[in-house]
């Protein structure tokens, strides 16, 4: 898509009626995002490599199903494939407001908690969507993925403190992850992808990484990023998801997720965004501190 100009996009996508495309550069995805107008309203145009068309179409189907269940996410107006230019596209409604990374600091603690609580309720609605998937096959993939991540990690020049203890901890406790049900996951559910408008939670955006995973994996980004931004918001999201009754098993599973996430996060930053390595090291140090290097299962920010 390197040679895909705005002029070509406007010409090739039949739904576009506005020649103004305002690029969105925030985020780590490699697809193209623009704000434009369609049928008199502001919309989000997203463009992907055509090789991703089946995955994008599946995302569109799931987002429509989520909206039917009352999830506050974007409405899908269009999906199409332009094979001659090797791209596919979606047109979504535009959720007005600010993302939580920007907006939460201006809210009271009570407002932050309420926004998180409502985001947790929406997350549960998403997880209640029925899917067909094999737990045994998924757990085999989880194990293989982690061992490959360890193999990659051991080749890095940068090390995580207590790394071998962390790796051993995950290997001993990885089967616990299988105690969490399989769902169709958002995979990037944190304050930066949750919209706040007029001091209240308005909805979730960016389903670009969605796919089948275990339910409690959805809290990875909340712990890694959002809990440093707003503890009331993060507590609210967990309590909203569980209707205020958080089971002990949740935290046992979460500690395993966070331990393996440190390995994945270091690999990801090193391979794709090495300029952000200092930020990754800061996040990893935070997780190690909150879990006391995994001598505890409940992070200290939650207590």
Tens of pLDDT, residue by residue over 140-164, are 999 999 999 999 999 999 999 999 9
Q: Which two tokens stand for residue 83?
A: 């094979």
| Strand positions, DSSP E, the chain | 22-23, 32-38, 41-49, 76-82, 87-93, 98-99, 182-185, 194-197, 200-204, 211-214
CA distance 5 to 288: 45
CA distance 285 to 289: 6
Total domains in the fold of the chain? 2
User: Among the three residues 58, 93, 128, which one is the final residue of a domain in this structure?
Assistant: 93
**Containing domain of residue 268, as a range?**
98-294
Angle (deg, nearest 10), helices 248-272 and 163-173 = 130
111 and 23 in a common domain: no
- Residue 72's domain is classified under what CATH number? 3.30.200.20
115 and 80 in a common domain: no
CA distance 192 to 252: 26
148 and 57 in a common domain: no
User: Among the three residues 54, 76, 93, which one is the final residue of a domain in this structure?
Assistant: 93
208 and 120 in a common domain: yes
Tens of pLDDT, residue by residue over 250-286, are 999 999 999 999 999 999 999 999 999 999 999 999 9
231 and 160 in a common domain: yes
Tens of pLDDT, residue by residue over 39-96, are 889 999 999 999 999 999 999 999 999 999 999 999 999 999 999 889 999 999 999 9
User: Among the three residues 93, 123, 147, which one is the final residue of a domain in this structure?
Assistant: 93
Question: Is this prediction's pTM over 0.95?
Answer: no
Tens of pLDDT, residue by residue over 6-39, are 888 888 898 887 778 999 987 767 789 999 998 8
271 and 165 in a common domain: yes
């Amino acid at each position: 898509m390197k040679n895909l100009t705005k002029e070509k996009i406007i010409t090739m996508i039949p739904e576009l009626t506005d020649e103004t495309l305002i690029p969105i550069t925030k985020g780590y995805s490699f697809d193209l995002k623009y704000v434009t107008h369609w049928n008199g309203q502001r919309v989000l145009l997203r463009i992907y490599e055509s090789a991703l068309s089946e995955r994008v179409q599946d995302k569109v189907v799931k987002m429509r199903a989520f909206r039917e269940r009352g999830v506050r996410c974007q409405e899908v107006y269009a999906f199409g494939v332009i094979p001659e230019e090797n791209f596919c596209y979606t047109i979504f409604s535009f959720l007005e407001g600010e993302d939580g990374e920007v907006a939460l600091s201006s809210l009271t603690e009570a407002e932050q908690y309420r926004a998180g609580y409502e985001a947790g309720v929406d997350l549960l609605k998403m997880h209640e969507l029925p899917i067909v998937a094999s737990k045994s096959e998924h757990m085999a993939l989880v194990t293989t993925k982690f061992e490959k991540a360890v193999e990659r990690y051991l080749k890095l020049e940068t090390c995580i403190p207590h790394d071998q203890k962390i790796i051993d901890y995950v290997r001993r406790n990885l089967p616990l992850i299988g105690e969490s049900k399989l769902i169709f996951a958002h995979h990037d559910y944190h304050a930066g992808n949750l919209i706040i408008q007029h001091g209240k939670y308005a909805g979730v955006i960016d389903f670009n990484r969605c796919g089948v995973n275990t339910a409690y994996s959805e809290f990875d980004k909340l712990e890694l990023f959002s809990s440093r931004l707003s503890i009331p918001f993060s507590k609210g999201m967990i309590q909203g998801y569980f209707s205020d009754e958080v089971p002990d098993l949740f935290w046992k599973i979460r500690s395993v997720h966070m331990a393996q996430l440190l390995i994945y996060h270091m690999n990801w930053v090193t391979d794709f965004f090495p300029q952000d390595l200092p930020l990754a090291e800061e996040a990893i140090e935070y997780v190690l501190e909150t879990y006391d290097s995994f001598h505890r299962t409940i992070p200290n920010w939650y207590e």
